[in-house]
Each structure stands twice: as C-alpha cells, then as structure tokens.
Structure 1
Amino acid sequence: MKDTRPPNHATAPEDSGTGRADDNRLVGSDRVLAVLKELARHPDGIGLEELTRVIDSPKPTVHRALGALRRAGLADQDVRGRYMLGDEFLRMAFAHHEARPEHVRIRPVLETLAARFGETAHYAVLDGREVVYRAKVDPPSGAVRLASTIGGRAPAHATAVGKLLLAHRLDTREAVEQWIADAPLARRTARTVYMVDGLHRELEATRERGYGVDDQENEVGINCLAIPVYVTSRIIPSGAVSISALTFRTPMKALVDAVDDIRRALGHLGESGR
C-alpha cells in the first residue's frame, strides 16, 4: 500500500516517548533564533566563521539557519560575504514599533518632557527582574546624552521605573523575598538597594509618594524619577515614564520639585482608576 504520509514523516526520527524528536526540532528553531539575535549585534555584518564560533554550532548547521533566514528576508549577505539583518526584518520591526499604542500615545509626552528638562525621557515596562525600554527621546540640545537604547534592559530593583512598577506588584516583605528568592540582586553602585528589607522599605515609600526614584543606584552620575502610565489598564500601570538626568545638570531635588509638572504632562495617561 502506498505511503501517503508527507515526506518529513517518513524521514523523521521516531519519538520513543522521551520527546527526543520534539527536542531536536526545538533545538533547530532555537539555533535559527540565536543566529538572528547575533546578527542584530553586528550592524556592519558578521562572517560565517565568526558567527559559527559565537553560536558554538557546526558550520553547516549555521549556514542552513542563515539560508532559512535569507529566504524569509530576515537576513542578507553583502558583497564581502558578511551576514546582517535583512530589510524585511527591519520593515517588520519598525512597522510593529511605530504601531504600538504606547509609542503612538506616549512619544509626544516624552518629547515634551525632554524639551522641558533638557534631559532624556524614557518609557519602560517590567519584564521579570528587568525593565525594557520601549521608547526614548533625547533632549533637543546638550552635548552629553544617555547611551540607553530602545529594547535595552536594566535591573528593575536599581531603576526608578523598575521600583515603581515593582511597588504595584510586591506589596509585602514576603512578596519581595519570594521575588528575589535564591538569585541575589546585583549591587550596581554603592547606593543600590539590593537586600530584602531595604527593597521592601523602598517599595513602600514608592507606593506612598506615587513615583519612583533612582538616586545614582543604577549608574553613578545619573538620577531618575518615574511616574506610572496607564495605557492598557486603569488599575495596574502598563509601564512608566521617566526623566533620566545627569546629576551635575539636573539634581534629584529638581526632579522631585517638578513631579507635578511631569504628572500634568502625562495627562490622562497618568490617571489610575483607584
């Protein structure tokens, strides 16, 4: 009787109940994604030899992953033979970013705040133990600007936006202790609050005043004040807007004194349903 199964069924390894066949397929997918992520780290391109070494996979395997990405338009190869992200990937990424509700609604606020303070304004969301920057606007003038990038990450416990968002989720000492668990928090600077009791007290103070602060806790010479933003919910903040300032140019007291101005700039985006 003729076998009518698709060809890949005929050649795929049998699953003996250990999940090995599925694991092999997942490894292959993970490898393609690892190649894609590595390409994003090399705007000028990367050669096959170097890519193979970084990914720590056989050259033929990496080459096949590149082939799949190129066919999808997600990777490209220049005249030097170096690989980079493809135009289709960039088109998708920019289109997605521009269409995000927070980008459309929050960027004008960031532009206002950056111009008002002459400092960098961010919008960030919480992702586990880190915050992810979704939008950023640099000041229109000023020789010194922050190196943060859209999509970049920072430890939540050491940032104003992170502590503000954690304050809405970790409302007891026990919750803070469970969040830290067996993975100690990094002490980014001498001012970083990284122990359970200290962080619990900091989150309590943040809830009471309604804004988060970072007084050179993530990076020496930079302080920050963050206000919650309610884009998708009127109960739990979807993220936070912050002013990240150079301490010699805009000290923490200047940010705290202007907190009402920052709230007014946010308008209805800073209003909760409580």
Structure 2
Amino acid sequence: MEHTQAYDGPTDPGEDGPTGAGSSRLVGSDRVLAVLKELARHPDGAGLDELTRVIGSPKPTVHRALGALRRAGLAGQDGRGRYLLGDEFLRMAFAHHEARPDHVRIRPVLDALADRFGETAHYAVLDGREVVYRAKVDPATGAARLTSTIGGRNPAHATAVGKLLLARQLGSQQEVEAWIGEARLERRTPRTRCTAADLCRELEATRERGYGVDDQENEPGVTCLALPVFLTSPTTPSGAVSVSALAYRTPLADLVNALDEIRALLGPLAGPRT
C-alpha cells in the first residue's frame, strides 16, 4: 500500500512557491526529515519519482533533500540508482539503541525468556493508543515472523503489553470511552476487543490477575503473555515484557502455567507482587 504523509508543521513561501494559510507543503529541514523517514520504509530502495510522489514536493527539492542526506552519510544509492538509508544512519541508530539504559538492563531478561520458551520476547512501552517495541529477542531456532519490530508499533488494545499498561491508566468504562474517543478501535483479528465495554472488562480482568494476555487478538495464530517491569520506579512500570508464541506449539495456557517462572526470570525488575 502506498504511504501518504500528512504534515501540519511550518511552511515557507520560499523556493517551492507561495504557501497559503492552509498549506501542508513541506519545507527546509522538515522536507529532509520527511524524505529520511520515507526511505526507512523502503529497505530495497526507492526511486526519485516514487519519493517525489509520496512526499508531495517538487522533484528538484526532493533531490536536494536527498543530496543533503547523502552528504551526511544518512542516505545512499544502490547500483540501480535507487535511494536507501545510508550506513552512517544505521550505525548511529544501532549504536544508540545498544547503549540505551533500558535496553542494557532488559536484554539479559529477554535472552533468558527466548531461550527458555523458544519464542520471541519483547520489551515495549505505551505511547498513547499504541505500544512501541524498545527491544526484541528471537529464539535461536524456529523464530516466527511477527509484526513487531524494534521501534515499531502495534495498537495497544490488541496486545498483551498494551492492555496490561492501559489497565493501570483506565479504571472505568467512562475512562475507556474517553480514551477511545471518536476513533474506531482497529479489529486486527476476529478476536480483537473493539468496543469500550469489551475492552473495559478485559482491563478489569487484567488488573485482577496482574498480567496481560493476547489470545490471537493482534495476529492470528500468535498468543502472548505480558508482565510489568520497573526500570525507573519501584511503583510505576516503565513498560512491559512479553513472550509472544505460536499458539500451536506454545498455547496461552502454557505461558500462564509458567507465570511464576517468568516472574523469576524477571528478578527484581518484576517489582512488588500485587
């Protein structure tokens, strides 16, 4: 599906011509950043015409933005002349990620969980209506192809980590309804809870049991169990750790039965028992 971009930032009546009060034309550094973000969506590279169409700016200005990114090492060209993220960008991103305090502290736990269950382990945080994956460890063999990627997002209402963290914020149906607002909750699978009443009941059950579950609600054939982790505060979770498993080989019931073992692997990061 072709990606389209909406932008509400500053505009400029400069080289791209006049801009009206309601214009969404990208200018200057905003355009450069938009091109950079678009390149990240094309691991096989993207042509100038394609980038121009998606960004919505004239070809010469998109080309100048690409030139600035190339000079900084943040973009490059392959043998076919297609543009892609540069090695310097990848070096900076990976170096930053590996050095983040939360990643350094949580990685051994994820390694242990992936090794114990032979499934994928995640660390994610809540960001509005979505969860953002800060770290991910696949098992040594038999890794499943999941929608989760480091830095990627999934809808909070459809994921174990999201529901676990929402359960601490939304204590009544009125609060759930206000959180949903006018937007519909995306139905990722036939099992996704997409009404305020259903989600409210699930959040209440999550609070009572102290862990979150996703029984093929975000991806068909994938189950998940999540527990809070306390990296920065003894009382407020910084995020949640989860084990995401293929349902046919690790049913949700198996993860629930191993709850005490998962807590033990989290160690002091699991926080107080409630």
The answer as to 2:58 corresponding to 1:52 is no
- Secondary structure, counterpart of 1:231 in structure 2: coil
- Secondary structure, counterpart of 1:265 in structure 2: helix
Equivalent pair of 1:168/1:236 in contact (CA under 8 Å): no
Q: Which residue identity is paired with 2:107?
A: R
Equivalent pair of 1:120/1:244 in contact (CA under 8 Å): yes
Provide TM-score, normalisation by structure 1: 0.87
Residue 81 of structure 1: how far off its partner (Å): 2.3
Residue 43 of structure 1: how far off its partner (Å): 2.3
Residue 27 of structure 1: how far off its partner (Å): 3.7
| Residue pairs, 1:131-142, within 5 angstroms | 131-142=131-142
Instruction: Write the distance in 2 (CA, Å) between the matches of 1:203 and 1:53.
Output: 42
Tell me the residue number matched to 1:115: 115
Q: Which residue identity is paired with 2:70?
A: R
Residue 152 of structure 1: how far off its partner (Å): 1.7
Equivalent pair of 1:35/1:55 in contact (CA under 8 Å): yes
Q: Which residue identity is paired with 2:161?
A: V
Residue 147 of structure 1: how far off its partner (Å): 4.7
The answer as to 2:93 corresponding to 1:106 is no
- Secondary structure, counterpart of 1:112 in structure 2: helix
Tell me the residue number matched to 1:251: 251
After TM superposition, where is structure 1 displaced by more than 6 Å over at least 4 residues in a row?
Answer: 23-26
Equivalent pair of 1:215/1:224 in contact (CA under 8 Å): yes
Provide TM-score, normalisation by structure 2: 0.87
Instruction: Write the distance in 2 (CA, Å) between the matches of 1:92 and 1:266.
Output: 29
Tell me the residue number matched to 2:9: none
Instruction: Write the distance in 1 (CA, Å) between the matches of 2:273 and 2:147.
Output: 35
Instruction: Write the distance in 2 (CA, Å) between the matches of 1:24 and 1:187.
Output: 30
Instruction: Write the distance in 1 (CA, Å) between the matches of 2:88 and 2:259.
Output: 42
Instruction: Write the distance in 2 (CA, Å) between the matches of 1:100 and 1:209.
Output: 31
Unmatched 5+ stretches in structure 2: 1-11
Q: Give the number of the structure whose residues are more often helix, by fraction.
A: 1
| Residue pairs, 1:51-200, within 5 angstroms | 51-142=51-142, 144-200=144-200
Question: CA offsets, 1:18-72, max 9 Å, x none?
Answer: x979x89964333222210111122232221222122222101101111221222
Aligned residues: 258
Instruction: Write the distance in 2 (CA, Å) between the matches of 1:61 and 1:196.
Output: 46
Instruction: Write the distance in 2 (CA, Å) between the matches of 1:119 and 1:133.
Output: 16
Residue 270 of structure 1: how far off its partner (Å): 1.0
- Secondary structure, counterpart of 1:189 in structure 2: coil
Residue 194 of structure 1: how far off its partner (Å): 1.4
Q: Which residue identity is paired with 2:33?
A: L
Instruction: Write the distance in 1 (CA, Å) between the matches of 2:264 and 2:258.
Output: 10
Structure with the greater alpha carbon radius of gyration:
1
Q: Do the aligned partners of residues 65 and 200 (structure 1) sit closer, same or farther apart at CA in structure 2, a change above 3 Å counting? A: same
